[in-house]
């Protein structure tokens, strides 16, 4: 929400934020951005599955990466605090910490001790690459589920064509 805030600047954060708010009020842009999702909304979108063989922290990190790649979480958007998200998902806070640390190591978020966890500005093509990777993962999941259900590739292709309303080839 506040682009241009630099935690490493010698100017205190509260002064930088106050200046941005003053500027936003003066230019009439305060409140014009899409509202950030609430903790409850974000937790609902995460849809973690405690019965999945995929560890919970990996599931959380994957869903947050997807939210960043699709723009649901924009640059500099704050993520819920560890305690808030853990309480909403009813999981151990250490699980959320691990997910946030993984996201930081991958360059998606920045953890600012005492201030929170924030989405990083991504390089121009990075969002598109991440969406492409997510699409590939969805296709692999679909194919695995189809194999387990005994659905043949031609049957799956016909079902996709029906759902899409057009030929997929």
Give per-residue pLDDT as tens, 131-151.
Answer: 788 778 878 888 888 888 898
Give per-residue pLDDT as tens, 54-106.
Answer: 999 999 998 898 888 888 888 888 999 999 999 999 999 999 999 999 999 99
pTM greater than the 0.75 cutoff: no
For 36-119, CATH gives 1.10.10.10
Q: Where are the domains of the chain?
A: 1-33, 36-119, 126-164
The DSSP annotation for 100-118 comes to HHHHHHTTSEEEETTTEEE
Angle at 88 between CA 57 and CA 32, to 5 degrees: 100
Angle between the 126-149 and 153-164 helix axes, to the nearest 10 degrees? 130
């Amino acid at each position: 929400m506040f682009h241009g805030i630099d935690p490493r600047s010698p100017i205190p954060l509260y002064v930088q934020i106050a200046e941005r708010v003053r500027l936003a009020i003066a230019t009439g842009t305060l409140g014009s951005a899409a509202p950030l999702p609430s903790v409850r909304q974000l937790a609902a979108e995460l849809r973690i599955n405690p019965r999945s063989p995929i560890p919970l922290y990996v599931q959380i990190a994957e869903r947050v990466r997807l939210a960043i790649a699709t723009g649901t979480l924009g640059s500099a958007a704050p993520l819920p605090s560890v305690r808030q998200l853990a309480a909403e998902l009813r999981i151990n806070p250490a699980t959320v910490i691990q997910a946030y640390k993984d996201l930081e190591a991958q360059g998606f978020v920045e953890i600012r001790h005492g201030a929170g966890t924030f989405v990083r500005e991504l390089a121009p093509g990075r969002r598109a690459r991440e969406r492409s990777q997510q699409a590939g993962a969805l296709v692999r999941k679909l194919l695995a589920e189809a194999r387990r259900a005994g659905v043949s590739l031609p049957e799956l292709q016909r079902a996709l064509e029906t759902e899409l309303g057009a030929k997929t080839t």
